[in-house]
Amino acid sequence: MSGYTPDEKLRVEQVWKLRRQWLKDQELSPREPLRPPKALGAVEKFWAGFVEPKSLWRLYTYKTYRGGVFALTRLLIPAWVVHYCVKYHIAKRPYGIVELKPKLFPGDTIMETGEVVPDLPETHAHH
């Protein structure tokens, strides 16, 4: 005996048809799921106007954000890096960066101001 009997063929076709119909029924229409509209509170109503697409507040916030990102990444950070490199690695000016201050003794002349360092007072009372 080979193949299905007529009753078995009918049953298999019915199962396939039911399965196809069940799968088709699982597809949602564009209107589904249907839910009742949510009642908004006072604060939610206020903010709902700000977050709707193409609102002025949203556009200006985006423009401000993009301007801030541009200023930070293209102007401030590179300017800081260049300033740091010039100040600590490239500048050859005298007294631009003082790694070790020279020792000053009484009678020495301060180069920046031209002042002479006065002598130390001769008091021995604290010994």
Torsion of CA 67, 71, 73, 75, to 10 degrees: 150
Cα separation, 49 vs 42, whole angstroms: 12
Which pLDDT tens digit goes with each residue over 34-49?
Answer: 888 888 898 888 788 7
**44 alpha-carbon distance from chain centroid:** 26
- Looking at the DSSP bridge assignments, the partners of residue 109 are 116
Pairwise pLDDT comparison (82 vs 1), residue with the higher score: 82
**Tens digit of pLDDT for each residue in 49-101?**
777 888 888 889 889 999 999 999 999 999 999 988 888 777 676 555 666 77
